[in-house]
Structure 1
Amino acid sequence: MSGGETRLYLLRHGETPFHDGNRYCGRTDVPLTEAGEAQARRLAGWAARAGLDAVYSSPLVRAVRTAEPAARAAGLRTHIDDRLIELDFGEAEGLTSRDMARRWPERRAAFERDPVANPLPGGEDPRAAITRAMAVVSDIAKRHRGETVLAVCHSTLLRLVTCALTGIDPADYRREFPVVHNVSGAELVHDDAHDMWRLVAFNPALGTVDHSEAGS
C-alpha cells in the first residue's frame, strides 16, 4: 500500500438467525448461525493474505465473532469500538418489512420514502448514527494512514456511512445499496493528501459470500 492512500474494508458480519425472514436486527445481541461461522472462517482465509494492518469491530457478538478469526489470521488483535454498533431499530426490532407495513402502514411508507427524515418508531435517528460512524472512520484514517484496515459492523450503519463518505445523500441508502452481502460491504480508499474518500467496490467477493438480503 502506498503512503498516499488508506484502504478500509467496512464489512457486514456473518449470517445470524434473524436472516430467516429478513428480520430487522439492531441491538439484539444474536450469535452467528453455523453458516455465519463458516462465512467468518472464509473471511479469515481472505484476511490472511489481504495485508491487513488493523481490525476493528462493533461490540455486538455477531460482529466480534466475524472479526476475530480474521484478526487472528492476520496476526492482529481486534479493536472493539462501540461507535460501530448497529442502529437501534426501536419498535421495529425483530420485525420484517411486511410486519411493519401491517402494523404502521403510514410510518413504514414514510420510512421507505426517506429513512433518514422518518426513522422507524422508537428507533435511533440515522443522523446521530452517521455522526458516530463518521467519527470512528475519521479516527481510523488518522491512526492508520497509508494502511489497510478491516472494520466489521452492520448493514444499515455501513450503508449510511458509505453514503456520507462518498457524497451520496444518506436518505438514498436503501435505493443506492439495496443489498449488503454477509462478510462483504464497502471497500473504500482515503486519499490522505486531499482528505477524500472514494468507493472502490460494493459487495466485493472476499471469498465465498452468502447473497442474502440486507435485513434493514
Structure 2
Amino acid sequence: MAVVYDVLLVRHGESEANKAGRLAYRTWDPPLTELGQSQAVHLMQQLRDWPVKHLVTSPLLRAQMTLKPLADHLGVVPTILPGLAEVNLGQWDGQRLKDLETANSPSFRAWRQDPEKNPPPDGESIMTVGQRVLAALETYVSTQDPGLTVAATHADCIKGAVLVILKAAGPSARSLWVPNGGQLFIRYNPPLKQWGIIFSPLQKPWIP
C-alpha cells in the first residue's frame, strides 16, 4: 500500500480580533480570548487519545495558543510553518469589518463577491492562500514519518485549501464556513502528487 500523509486542519480558537470584529494579519497579533482558550483545551481533550504524531502551526499567536494544550499533553514541540499564516489582508489589515461594510467601497464589495478575482488592495487572493498552505504542508509531511499531523491555521487558509483541492471557483469561498475550532481532514498522496479531502466519522483512535 502506498504511503499517504493525513493532516487535520484546525482553525484557531476565538481570538481578540474575532471578538472585536477586526481583521488581523501583520499589524496586530492578538491572543485567544477566554472562550478561545477553552476551545484549545477542548481540542486537546478531543485528540488526546488519537495517534497524533506531528504538530505544525501558523506563526501567529492565536494558532500557537490553540495547539499549546495538545502540545503540552503530547510532549511535542510544534513546528512553525510560515506558509500556514493568515491571508495577507493588505490595506485592510487591522480594520473592523463593520467599518469596511459601512464604507461600502467598490473594492470591498468586489471582494465580498469574489475573493479570488478581487483580493484586498495589496493583499492575497483566496486561491493563492490555499496554494501556499498546501505547498507548505506537502513540503513538511514529505520529510516526516507517516502519521497524523495536526495543523493550526486560519479560516481563509482552510477555505483556500478546499478550493484548490476541489478546483473550485473563487466565489465558492462564500459558501464555506469555518468556525473557530473548525476542523477538516485532508490527505496527501505522494505518487499522485495530489491532496484530497477525507470524510471521516468523529471516532477515535483515528485510523488512516
Query: TM range, normalised to the smaller chain?
Result: 0.7 to 0.9
1:188 aligns with 2:194: no
CA root-mean-square deviation: 2.5
Q: Sort the Cα spacing of 1:51 and 1:119 in 2 relative to 1 into closer, same or farther, 3 A.
A: same
Report the alpha carbon displacement of residue 125 of structure 1 after superposing the two structures with TM.
4.2
1:110 aligns with 2:110: yes
Q: Sort the Cα spacing of 1:78 and 1:65 in 2 relative to 1 into closer, same or farther, 3 A.
A: same
1:142 aligns with 2:154: no
Alignment-mate amino acid for residue 47 of structure 1: L
C-alpha distance in 2 between matches for 1:20 and 1:148: 31
Deviations 1:20-65 (A, max 9, x none): 2533222320001111111111111223212111000111111111
C-alpha distance in 2 between matches for 1:122 and 1:67: 30
Q: Which one of 184, 188, 198 corresponds to residue 196 of structure 2?
A: 198
1:19 aligns with 2:25: no
Alignment-mate amino acid for residue 146 of structure 1: P
SS state at 1:9 partner: strand
TM, length-normalised to structure 1:
0.81
Q: Sort the Cα spacing of 1:35 and 1:109 in 2 relative to 1 into closer, same or farther, 3 A.
A: same
C-alpha distance in 1 between matches for 2:119 and 2:35: 31
Report the alpha carbon displacement of residue 98 of structure 1 after superposing the two structures with TM.
3.7
TM, length-normalised to structure 2:
0.84
C-alpha distance in 2 between matches for 1:153 and 1:205: 20
C-alpha distance in 1 between matches for 2:62 and 2:158: 15
What is the 5 A alignment of 1:125-164? 125-144=125-144, 146-164=146-164
C-alpha distance in 1 between matches for 2:21 and 2:198: 27
C-alpha distance in 2 between matches for 1:81 and 1:189: 18
C-alpha distance in 1 between matches for 2:195 and 2:179: 22
Alignment coverage as a number of residue pairs: 202
CA contact (8 A) 1:145 1:192 kept: no
CA contact (8 A) 2:130 2:162 kept: no
C-alpha distance in 1 between matches for 2:202 and 2:24: 23
Report the alpha carbon displacement of residue 100 of structure 1 after superposing the two structures with TM.
1.5
Alignment-mate amino acid for residue 35 of structure 1: L
* Runs (5+) with no aligned partner, structure 2: 204-208
